[in-house]
Structure 1
Amino acid sequence: MLVKHLTPILNVSDVRKSFVWFQKLGWTKGFEWGDPTTFGSVYSGPFEVFLCQGGQGGSGASGYSATFGPNSNEAAEKGVWMSVWVEDVDAIHQLCLENEIEVTWPPTNMPWGVREMHVRHPDGHVFRVSCAIDPAAAASGA
C-alpha cells in the first residue's frame, strides 16, 4: 500500500463549535456539509481533519485532568490521539493559554528528543503538540 493522503475523522458533539475551537489554534475551516451542518473539515497548511457530528469513532474525556504523567491514565482516554508537529511548542502553549484551550500536559522536554505538550478538544480528542529538540537537552530536562 502506498498512502497518498491521510485524513483523520473526529467524532464531535457540535461541528460548528469545533470549527471555533480549531480556529483558536490557527486552523482554517475547510468545508461544511448538511443542513444543519453535521460534517465538515478544518485544515492547517496541507493537513486536514474531518469533523463528524455524533459518529465515525468515539469521543469523550477520561475524567483525568492530565493526559500524561502521574495524574493521568492514558488507557482511560476515549477520544482520538494525534501527534501534531510544529516549529515552536512554547508559542502554541501561549496561544492556548490566551484562548482558554485546555492544556493537559505543559511544554516539557521529553527523553525521546522532543519538546511536547498536550491539548484536549472539548470532545476529548488529545493533540500531542511536539517539535524536535537536541537529544542532550531532552536528557537534561532543559
Structure 2
Amino acid sequence: MYAKAITPILNVSDMQQSFDWFEKLGWKKCWDWGEPATFGGVGSGECEIFLCLNGQGGRGHGGHRATFGPDCDEAGETGVWMSIWVDDVDAVHRHCLEQGIDVAWPPTDMPWRVREMHVRHPDGHVFRIGRGF
C-alpha cells in the first residue's frame, strides 16, 4: 500500500461549536453536508479533518484537566489524539490563550526532542501541537 493522505474523522456533539472551535484555533471551515449539517470538514494548509455529528468514533475527556504529568489519567482520555506539526509552538500557545482554548498541557521540551503543547476540543479530542528540536 502507498497512502497519499489520511483524513481523521472526529465524532462531535455540535457541528457549529466544532467549526467555531477550529476557527479559534486558526483553521477554516471547508465544507458541510446536510440540512442541518451532520458532516463537514475543516482545514489548515494541506491538512483536513472531517467532523461527524454523533457518529464514526468516540468522544473523550476523562474528567482530568491535565493530559500529561502526575495529575493526568491517560487511560481515561478516550477521545482521538492527533499531532499537529507547526513552526512555533509558543506562538500557537499565545494564540490559544487569547482565544480561550482549553490548553491541557503548556509548551514543554519533551525528552523525545519535541517541544509540544496539548489543546482539548470541547468533545475531549486532544491535539498535540509540536515542533521537533
Q: Please, what TM-score do these two structures have when normalized by structure 2?
A: 0.98
Where does residue 91 of structure 1 map in the other structure?
A: 91
CA offsets per residue over residues 26-80 of structure 1, 9 Å max, x none? 1010100001111000000110000000000000211001000110011110100
Structure 1 partner of 2:59: 59
- Partner amino acid for 1:72? C
Structure with max Cα Rg = 1
Residue by residue over 1:83-123, the C-alpha shift from the partner in whole angstroms, topping out at 9 and shown as x without a partner, is: 11000000010011000000000000011111010000000
Distance in 1, Cα, partners of 2:9 & 2:126: 13
Asked whether the 8 Å contact 2:88–2:131 carries over to 1, the reply is: yes
Whole-angstrom distance in 2 between the partners of 1:15 and 1:48: 15
The runs of at least 4 aligned residues of structure 1 exceeding 2 Å deviation read none
Q: Which residue number in structure 1 is paired with residue 104 of structure 2? A: 104
Aligned residues: 133
**Any stretches of 5+ residues in structure 2 without a counterpart?**
none
Match of 1:80 in 2: 80
Task: Report the counterpart of residue 2 of structure 1 in structure 2.
Answer: 2
Task: Determine helix, strand or coil for the equivalent of 2:127.
Answer: strand
Partners of 2:60 and 2:34 in 1: CA distance: 24
Where 1:84 maps in the other structure, the secondary structure is strand
**Corresponding residue for 2:29?**
29
Query: RMSD of the TM alignment (CA)?
Result: 0.6
Task: In structure 2, give the amino acid aligned to 1:80.
Answer: V
| Shift in Å, 1:81 | 0.1
What TM-score do you get using the length of structure 1 for normalisation? Answer: 0.92
Question: What runs of 5+ residues in structure 1 fail to find an aligned partner?
Answer: 134-142
